[in-house]
Amino acid sequence: MAKVNAKNVMNGTYGTLRIDGIEYANISTFESKITNNREEMQFSGNMGIDSKLLSSSGSGTMTFRKVDSRVVARQIPSIISGKDFKTVIIVSIDDPDGKGKETISITDVWFNDFDLFKFEMGSTVEETVSFGFNPTNVVPVDVVVA
């Protein structure tokens, strides 16, 4: 049985995010996932349920510590002009204690919604952006092999 050493578990503190080549050091959380759309089916003489993959979709959320207006400033001109804003996201974790760097590139990312303005007295401000993407536009740039 393979042993896992705790020091090799990736530490999110070393995660980085770039949007169109610009690093967002104020990133607080990042999550992206692919959801498979399946149709369940059963066949004659078989009690088991199988499934057929029909399509996949990608989605995610990013939360930023509010230090500037970049998120809003990039979206509003596209909304006003009626143009679909698409971007490139490159996210990676490079924990010096880990077994290597993991990097994923996602092209043609669209933003579904974002905080236009938000604050709470006595608290730091964060802004959240939800996004979508076509899973066929995902490229694993760097992978960690166990």
Length of the chain: 146
Task: Please tell me the distance from the alpha carbon of residue 61 to that of residue 79, in angstroms, as a whole number.
Answer: 20
pTM of the model: 0.85
Per-residue model confidence as pLDDT tens digits over 115-143 = 888 889 999 999 999 999 999 999 989 78
Which residue, among 61, 54, 57, 51, has the nearest Cα to 35 in the 3D structure?
Answer: 57
Strand-pairing partners, residue 40, are 51
Residue range 26-83, pLDDT digits in tens: 999 999 999 999 999 999 999 999 999 999 999 999 999 999 888 888 888 888 998 8
- The CA distance from 83 to 78, in Å, is 5
CB proximity list for 114: less than 8 A, separation 6 or greater? 71, 72, 75, 127, 128, 129, 130
- Distance between CA 11 and CA 132 in Å, rounded? 25
Task: State the CATH class of domain 7-35+53-142.
Answer: mainly beta
Residues 72, 100: Cα–Cα separation, whole Å: 34
- CB contact set of 11 (below 8 Å; sequence gap of 6+): 93, 95, 97, 98
